[in-house]
């Protein structure tokens, strides 16, 4: 007998399963342990434990009408559903639901690229279209369109965007929800709704103008549970003519202030792609125990101490990889301008010429080689070319034949794009992790990620294991302690696995939790039986509200 959804009798569950079979065909309803196992989160922090978020079954509709039929059946028997697109949300929950026993609605069979417009730089896709699929469709048609993809290419534009995922090219496009345009969703009552211009029958501008008229409700589908999205439009962009890199280093700890102000100026002026902050000093960590002791010291460090350590090693403290996309001439001019702008903040910054070559990249330019610069940029993602090379960081390799962890989860607080915030986050998390007693890479040289154009993510990851529950216990404990610690400083997670979503939302508490109460009032109105992804985004329908962690 499979796990049952809470509050659903076995007889009702069986009856719902029959209706699912009528809707999608027997071959596409999965109830055996062998099949359901595929929908467990391989990076779960509770693998094999009683609270692991395991689904009861999965159903895989092939079209919108079948999704509607599944929703109607779920309403009839009050069976909770959990929709996934490609289901590869590893580090943030994989394909597993927020509520143990939910039925996964696996949308991989709906995998058509419905529209690709090379004149208006847009596309319209179904949930099961992966980044590989979209890239391939563009190449097969010989279009000079670019996409922006996350590091692993097997996820989907839709699934990634609906979890507020990010990519690695130019600012506007890196924010995947922010660069969507137009949603079609099956609502909890089985109706199909379109957002923006899609609400106007036959509008030719659904993928061009996101708002239509009236409130923009598209946000209700990201990190939330107000519908099963069946189509989503995205803004693509023209293949740039050329690509250029350059590196800047600044000598002193406090120079991070000028460096960040300069890159903020350059990014908000749309002159550079994703800046990658780093520290040349990290190179010296392996051979210098005193430096390691300094950068992991609790109670904060002084500018003078780090500056001396850097000058002893004859290295600068911070670096930033700069990337330029566009015509060769403007890239060159923007690099020259960037040097002058950064030097106006940090006069003794050093600049290193990188590469410059025409797009599309060829041969070695395309290879996933480490960049000549310290950050080690994964090359293909900078060109919007999906691949899976990032998995070599965490899987069995010649260099790491027996990895001690099976996966990881991300702890991903958003902090302001200032040096003061970076220094404070380093100090707070170094101290907190020392007190909690877990190893992590957080130290006084850790730099935040510039994924979002206007905010930093000060990410750190914690290991998960399928064989060692102690590793998972420590990870759970660390993340649960870090969330409120971050919140004390106004740092909230941009994203997290289902097991921690309630804790994260707990910290977004302005107005006595007025946002959460508003979301849940809407949830109760739009989904009175609470069938769509209960708990996702910390939004629990009335029926399951007592389950809030
Ligand atoms: C090593 C590594 C590197 C990574 N790098 C990145 C990165 O660079 N950028 C990044 O963003 N992420 C990254 N991730 C996280 C993750 O792998 C990707 O974000 C991945 O794209 C998400 O999986 P997916 O696209 O298959 O989404 P899915 O798993 O299909 O969807 C994500 C969630 O969205 C909701 N959802 C999906 N489809 C629907 C729908 N049709 N209707 C309603 N709700 C829906 C569901 O709640 C689902 O759980 C990384 C993970 C690892 C392990």
Instruction: Determine contact, residues 274/323, Cβ cutoff 8 Å.
Output: yes
Q: Report CA torsion sign: 501, 502, 508, 514.
A: positive
| Average confidence (pLDDT) over 345-358 | 95
What was the pLDDT predicted at 405? 81
Measured CA to CA, the distance from residue 124 to residue 115 in angstroms comes to 5
386 pLDDT above the threshold of 90? yes
Catalytic residue among 495, 516, 536, 543: 495
- How many Å apart are CA 423 and CA 301, to the nearest integer? 9
What pLDDT, in 10s, does the model give residues 463-493? 999 999 999 999 999 999 999 999 999 999 9
Helices and strands in the chain, H and E counts: 15, 20
Please tell me the distance between residue 76's alpha carbon and the centre of ligand 1 in angstroms. Answer: 30
Taking the CB of residue 16, how many other CB atoms lie within 10 A of it?
Answer: 26
Mean of pLDDT values over 163-191: 97
Mean pLDDT (the chain, rounded): 95
Radius of gyration of the chain measured on its C-alpha atoms: 24
Take residue 531 and report the two structure tokens written for it. Answer: 């069938």
Average pLDDT of span 436-450: 91
- Residue 165 Cα to ligand 1 midpoint, Å, equals 7
Among 39, 77, 92, 121, the active-site one is 92
39 catalytic? Reply is no
Least confident of 40-44, 125-129, 353-357: 353-357
Atom nearest to 87 CA in ligand 1 = 29
Residue among 539, 530, 538, 507 nearest 5 (CA): 530
> Is the Cβ–Cβ distance between 97 and 110 less than 8 Å?
no
Q: How many CB atoms lie within 10 A of CB 399?
A: 6
Structure tokens at 181: 């345009």
Sheet containing 276-278: give its strands across.
Answer: 276-278, 318-326, 242-250, 350-358
Q: Which pLDDT tens digit goes with each residue over 239-292?
A: 999 999 999 999 999 999 999 999 999 999 999 999 999 999 998 998 999 999
Selected residue with higher pLDDT from 315 and 405: 315
Pick the residue whose CA is nearest to atom 32 on ligand 1. 159
Q: Give the Å distance between the CA of 155 and the centre of ligand 1.
A: 6
Residues contacting ligand 1 via CB (< 6 Å): 83-93, 95, 107, 127, 150-152, 155-156, 158-160, 162-163, 165-166, 228-229, 390, 393-394, 533, 536
Reading the block at residue 347, the tokens are 């006069």
pLDDT of residue 14: 97
Question: Contact 180/232 with Cβ under 8 angstroms?
Answer: yes
Using the mean position of ligand 1's atoms as its centre, give its distance from the Cα of residue 469 in Å: 25
Of the residues 96, 109, 151, which should be mutated to test ligand 1's pocket, given the most ligand atoms within 8 Å of the CB? 151
230 — pLDDT class (breaks 50, 70, 90): very high
Alpha helices for 437-493 (secondary structure H): 469-488
Confidence of residue 374 (pLDDT cuts 50, 70, 90): very low
Active site residue 92: yes
Probe ligand 1: pick from 66, 84, 149, 188, max atoms within 8 Å of CB? 84
Reported as a single tens digit per residue, the pLDDT across 56-87 is 999 999 999 999 999 999 999 999 999 999 99
Q: Tell me which residue has its CA closest to atom 18 in ligand 1.
A: 89
Asked whether residue 398 carries a pLDDT value surpassing 50, the answer given is yes
Q: What percent of the chain has pLDDT over 70?
A: 96
Q: How far does residue 410's CA lie from ligand 1's centre (Å)?
A: 12
- Rounded CA-CA distance 125/139 in Å is 16
Task: For residue 404, give both structure tokens.
Answer: 């001690």
Phi, psi angle pair for 351, to nearest 5°: -120, 140
Closest by CA position to 310, among listed 256, 347, 267: 256
Tens digit of each residue's pLDDT (9 = 90 or more) over 11-60: 999 999 999 999 999 999 999 999 999 999 999 999 999 999 999 999 99
- Residue 68's Cβ-side half-sphere holds a number of Cα atoms within 13 Å equal to 10
- Residue 127 alpha carbon to ligand 1 centre in Å: 12
pLDDT at site 1: 57
pLDDT in tens, 414-423: 999 999 999 9
CA 197–ligand 1 middle distance (angstroms) = 26
Name the pLDDT band for 390 (thresholds 50, 70, 90).
Answer: confident
Instruction: Name the residue at shortest CA distance from atom 11 of ligand 1.
Output: 165
pLDDT at 2 over 80: no
Residue 370 clears pLDDT 50, i.e. is over it: no
Catalytic residue (one of 39, 77, 135, 494): 494
Whether residue 313 is predicted with pLDDT greater than 50 in this model: the reply is yes
- The atom of ligand 1 lying closest to the CA of 160 is 25
pTM given for the model: 0.96
Tell me which residue has its CA closest to atom 41 in ligand 1. Answer: 229
Ligand 1 atom having least distance to the Cα of 176? 11
């Amino acid at each position: 007998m499979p796990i049952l959804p809470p509050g659903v009798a076995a007889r009702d569950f069986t009856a719902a399963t029959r209706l699912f079979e009528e809707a999608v065909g027997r071959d596409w309803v999965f109830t055996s342990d062998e099949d359901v196992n595929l929908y467990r989160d391989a990076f779960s922090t509770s693998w094999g434990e009683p609270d692991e978020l395991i689904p009861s079954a999965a159903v895989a509709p092939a079209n919108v009408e079948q999704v509607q039929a599944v929703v109607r059946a779920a309403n009839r028997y009050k069976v909770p559903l959990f929709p996934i697109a490609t289901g590869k949300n590893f580090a943030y929950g994989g394909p597993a639901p927020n509520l143990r026993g939910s039925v996964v609605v696996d949308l991989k069979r709906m995998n058509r690229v419905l529209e690709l417009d090379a004149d208006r730089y847009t596309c319209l896709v179904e949930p099961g279209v992966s980044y590989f699929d979209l890239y391939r469709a563009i190449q097969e048609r010989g279009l000079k369109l670019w996409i922006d993809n996350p590091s692993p290419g097997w996820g989907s534009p839709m699934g990634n965007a609906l979890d507020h995922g990010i990519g690695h090219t130019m600012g506007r496009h890196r924010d995947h929800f922010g660069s969507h345009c137009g949603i079609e969703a099956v609502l909890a009552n089985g109706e199909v709704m379109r957002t923006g211009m899609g609400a106007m029958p036959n509008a030719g501008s659904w993928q061009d103008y996101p708002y239509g008229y009236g409130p923009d409700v598209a946000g209700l589908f990201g990190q939330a549970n107000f519908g099963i999205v069946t189509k989503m439009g995205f803004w693509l962009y023209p293949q740039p003519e050329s690509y250029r890199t350059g590196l800047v280093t600044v000598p002193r700890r406090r120079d991070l202030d000028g460096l960040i102000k300069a890159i903020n100026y350059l990014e908000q002026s749309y002159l550079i792609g994703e800046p990658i902050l780093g520290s040349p000093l990290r190179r010296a960590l392996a051979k210098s125990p005193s430096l390691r002791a300094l950068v992991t010291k609790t109670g904060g460090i002084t500018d003078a101490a780090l500056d001396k350590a850097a000058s002893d090693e004859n290295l600068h403290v911070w670096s930033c990889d700069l990337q330029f996309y566009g015509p060769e001439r403007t890239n060159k001019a923007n690099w020259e301008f960037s040097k002058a702008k950064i030097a106006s903040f940090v006069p003794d910054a050093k600049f290193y010429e990188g590469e410059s070559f025409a797009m599309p990249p060829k041969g070695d330019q395309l290879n996933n080689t480490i960049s000549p610069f310290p950050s080690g940029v994964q090359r293909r993602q900078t060109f919007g070319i999906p691949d899976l090379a990032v998995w070599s960081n965490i899987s069995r390799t010649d260099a790491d034949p027996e990895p001690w962890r099976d996966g990881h989860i991300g702890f991903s607080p958003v902090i302001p794009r200032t040096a003061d915030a970076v220094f404070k986050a380093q100090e707070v998390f170094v101290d907190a992790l020392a007190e909690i007693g877990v190893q992590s890479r957080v130290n006084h040289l850790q730099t935040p990620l510039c994924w979002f154009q206007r905010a930093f993510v000060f990410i750190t990851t914690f290991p998960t294991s399928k064989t060692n529950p102690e590793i998972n216990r420590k990870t759970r404990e660390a993340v649960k302690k870090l969330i409120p610690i971050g919140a004390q400083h106004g740092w909230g997670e941009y994203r997290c696995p289902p097991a921690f979503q309630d804790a994260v939302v707990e910290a977004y508490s302005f107005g006595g939790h007025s946002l959460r109460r508003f979301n849940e009032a809407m949830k109760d109105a739009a989904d009175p039986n609470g069938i769509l992804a209960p708990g996702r985004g910390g939004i629990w329908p009335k029926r399951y509200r007592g389950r809030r962690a």
